[in-house]
Chain A
Amino acid sequence: MHTLSVSALGNALRRKEFSSVELTTHFLDRVAAYDTTLNSFITVTGDIALADAARADERRRAGEDNPLLGIPIAHKDIFCTRGVRTSCGSRMLDTFIAPYDATVVDRFRANGTVMLGKTNMDEFAMGSSNQTSWYGPVRNPWDADRVPGGSSGGSAAAVAAGLAPIATGTETGGSIRQPAALTGLTGLKPTYGRVSRFGMVAFASSLDQAGILARSAEDVALSLGAIAGHDPADSTSVDRPADDYPGALGSDLSGVRIGVVKEQFGEGLDPVVGKLVEEAIDDLERLGATILDVSLPNSALSIPVYYVVAPAEASSNLSRYEGVRFGHRAAHPVDMEDLYKRSRSEGFGDEVKRRIMIGTYVLSAGYYDAYYLKAQQVRRLICADFARAFDQVDLIVGPTSPFTAFPIGEKLDDPVAMYLCDIYTSGINLAGLPALSAPAGFARGLPVGLHLMGNHFREDLLLSVAHRYQQATDWHTRRPARFT
């Protein structure tokens, strides 16, 4: 069951080959068997899952049908889930039971999905390797000594290992696409505002966006259809109807103009990764796409800009964690300042503290113009680069990550090296564009991701091109040997 696609699972449920309860039990069993190794879940919600599954079976008996009815899903522990701990990978929220569901969770539930549990993640989504979680690192199913990427590393590892057919993730600078690339999955970050942020613990509000990690573009398309759309509870949600993503699959590539970012094949890129991505681009050309060169001249500045904008917003977004209304509170505070400082220092890990301090610094008196304002100006230039490119082409391609999964422990002592994991992805978040990563081969046995970037609201085109590519290749069907 765990090797079947979402549509195959849907068909089997429809034909009553198995029930959602049986399917759910199968996945829960796999979680129990394998997750002690992977550590991809922070909380497994077995009882809720079985109740969800029984309800889905009931709905199906009552005549209801939709592509996700009875399909198990794992939610990144950044999404609030009513009555279930929502930790965001942090000691700060270790005891926090959300009193409401995130819109994403709510919409999946309305579609009849079954919540298996909450997946591990970098603390407050700050990290690219899932090593900053209070609940310990997640291991990559392709090599348990290596990281799965981050921050949605738990979701990536769980889907890659067949512990869940699909999982939610979130991005601020590449947190869906980079782990998707490092674990051989298809991961989509939609256009900013396409999916509601309500109930999603905020990291950097102008960059955050929810998305999907799955084993194919088709599975992503089926899932995205459930959550895309306007939410009046999120002021930044776009009031525009969602497209029919599954319906857009299947078109051919002739006439599709694809631009290759020349700046993203230079220094810092693992040559083997580069070669595989170039081969994937050749495949796209063979499938009928027109390949052109495009330039994103300010591409290299996306990480510096990102590390001003994201920490600035985060420093403010994370001020609410101070041990008064919820969350970790230090023992025996002598006064208010002591309560604030010790609760926050004990509750937050190193990377979170680092980013809060960077953000506080770049917003502070005397530095605002030189850092924050400057970054906002360069952000516009980065966006303009993309706008110019999309005047010439329909999609942009490049590598998702400069390298494959690296060993656990690496880059932890060198924040800047860690930040460069997102060198190809973070520009997309600054510009609010949709992008996905799709498997494009293996370098030394480790998955490599092809990065497809689209214009605003062109999730349909991204998914249809990725789907066409996946019809012609089998990289996305490969499974890590230990988890077959």
Chain B
Amino acid sequence: MALEPGGILHIAHLARLHLLEDDAERYAGELSAILAFIEQMNAVDTGGVTPMAHPFEMTQPLRADIVTEQDRREEYQANAPAVRDGLYVVPKVIE
């Protein structure tokens, strides 16, 4: 599947990446080459094969419903680019 620059811009938007027009052109070429390479898998018949999401057939372990976490807000927010009154601050979000 060859990707057009327009398609790349849509994908970049879904992934919240800012691309310049030139970048889009370049990425379209690179990604098309990668996709063409990936499409080698189409040569193999996978009719009736169950998709595999995990290396093992294990099942989800469960955690007891216990509060184990203490408040560490100050330590966690030391990494935040913008914090005020304990809130993470971002540009105005319009609903």
Listed in ascending order, the chain A residues whose CB lies under 8 Å from chain B are 95-97, 99, 192-193, 206-207, 232, 235-236, 238-239, 298, 300-301, 303-305, 307-308, 315, 319, 322-327, 329, 333-342, 344-345, 348, 353-354, 356-358, 360-362, 364, 367, 371, 373-381, 383, 415-416, 419, 430-433, 456
A325 / chain B contacts, CB cutoff of 8 Å? 76, 79-80, 88
B17/A356 in contact, CB under 8 A: yes
The answer for the CA separation of A207 and B54 in the assembled complex, in Å, is 8
Given contacts A99-B75, A336-B91, A361-B11, contact A376 B55 (CB under 8 A): no
Q: State which of B17, B61, B81 has its C-beta within 8 Å of the C-beta of A357.
A: B17
**Residues of B52-80 whose CB lies within 8 A of A:** 52-56, 58, 60-61, 63, 72, 75-76, 78-80
A303 / chain B contacts, CB cutoff of 8 Å? 37
The answer for the CA separation of A339 and B18 in the assembled complex, in Å, is 10
B56 / chain A contacts, CB cutoff of 8 Å? 192-193, 238, 432, 456
- B27-54 vs A, CB cutoff 8 Å, 1 = contact: the mask equals 1001101110111111010100111111
B49/A380 in contact, CB under 8 A: yes
Nearest CB of B to A401, in Å: 19
The answer for the CA separation of A416 and B38 in the assembled complex, in Å, is 10
Given contacts A99-B75, A376-B53, A380-B51, contact A357 B11 (CB under 8 A): yes
The answer for the CA separation of A196 and B93 in the assembled complex, in Å, is 38
**Taking chain B's interface residues, is the majority helix, strand, or loop, or is none over half, making it mixed?**
loop
Nearest CB of B to A339, in Å: 6
Nearest CB of B to A155, in Å: 23
Nearest CB of B to A68, in Å: 28
A415/B51 in contact, CB under 8 A: no
Q: State which of B16, B31, B34, B81 has its C-beta within 8 Å of the C-beta of A340.
A: B16
Chain B residues bordering chain A, tally (CB within 8 A) = 50
**Residues of B10-25 whose CB lies within 8 A of A:** 11-12, 14-19
A339/B14 in contact, CB under 8 A: no
Q: Which residue of B lies closest to A384 (CB)?
A: B49
B15/A304 in contact, CB under 8 A: no
Q: State which of A238, A315, A342 has its C-beta within 8 Å of the C-beta of B15.
A: A315
B61/A307 in contact, CB under 8 A: no
The answer for the CA separation of A364 and B31 in the assembled complex, in Å, is 15
B93 / chain A contacts, CB cutoff of 8 Å? 336
A379 / chain B contacts, CB cutoff of 8 Å? 51-52
B40/A333 in contact, CB under 8 A: no
The answer for the CA separation of A351 and B37 in the assembled complex, in Å, is 17
B15/A360 in contact, CB under 8 A: yes
Given contacts A324-B88, A432-B55, contact A341 B31 (CB under 8 A): no
The 3 lowest CB-CB distance pairs between A and B, nearest first, are: A432-B55, A376-B51, A377-B46
What are 6 pairs between A and B in contact, CB < 8 Å?
A301-B40, A301-B41, A340-B16, A353-B17, A362-B38, A376-B52
The answer for the CA separation of A381 and B50 in the assembled complex, in Å, is 10
Given contacts A298-B44, A415-B34, A431-B55, contact A357 B80 (CB under 8 A): no
Q: State which of A236, A333, A415 has its C-beta within 8 Å of the C-beta of B91.
A: A333
A206/B55 in contact, CB under 8 A: yes
Q: Which residue of A lies closest to B8 (CB)?
A: A357
B2 at the interface (CB under 8 A from A): no
B35 / chain A contacts, CB cutoff of 8 Å? 358, 361
The answer for the CA separation of A339 and B93 in the assembled complex, in Å, is 11
Q: State which of B11, B44, B88 has its C-beta within 8 Å of the C-beta of A364.
A: B11
Given contacts A364-B11, A381-B46, contact A416 B34 (CB under 8 A): yes
The answer for the CA separation of A342 and B12 in the assembled complex, in Å, is 12
Given contacts A99-B72, A322-B16, A376-B53, contact A354 B30 (CB under 8 A): yes
B92 at the interface (CB under 8 A from A): yes
A336 / chain B contacts, CB cutoff of 8 Å? 90-91, 93
B17/A341 in contact, CB under 8 A: yes
A97 / chain B contacts, CB cutoff of 8 Å? 78-79
The answer for the CA separation of A335 and B79 in the assembled complex, in Å, is 21
A381/B49 in contact, CB under 8 A: yes
Nearest CB of A to B62, in Å: 9
Q: Which residue of B lies closest to A93 (CB)?
A: B79
The answer for the CA separation of A416 and B88 in the assembled complex, in Å, is 40
The answer for the CA separation of A380 and B80 in the assembled complex, in Å, is 41
B75/A304 in contact, CB under 8 A: no
B17 / chain A contacts, CB cutoff of 8 Å? 341, 344-345, 348, 353, 356-357
Nearest CB of B to A94, in Å: 11
Nearest CB of B to A252, in Å: 31
Nearest CB of B to A193, in Å: 7
B12, B16, B49, B79 — most chain A CB neighbours (10 Å): B16
Q: Which residue of A lies closest to B52 (CB)?
A: A380
Q: State which of A307, A342, A360 has its C-beta within 8 Å of the C-beta of B38.
A: A307
Nearest CB of B to A27, in Å: 30
Q: State which of A95, A235, A319, A339 has its C-beta within 8 Å of the C-beta of B60.
A: A235
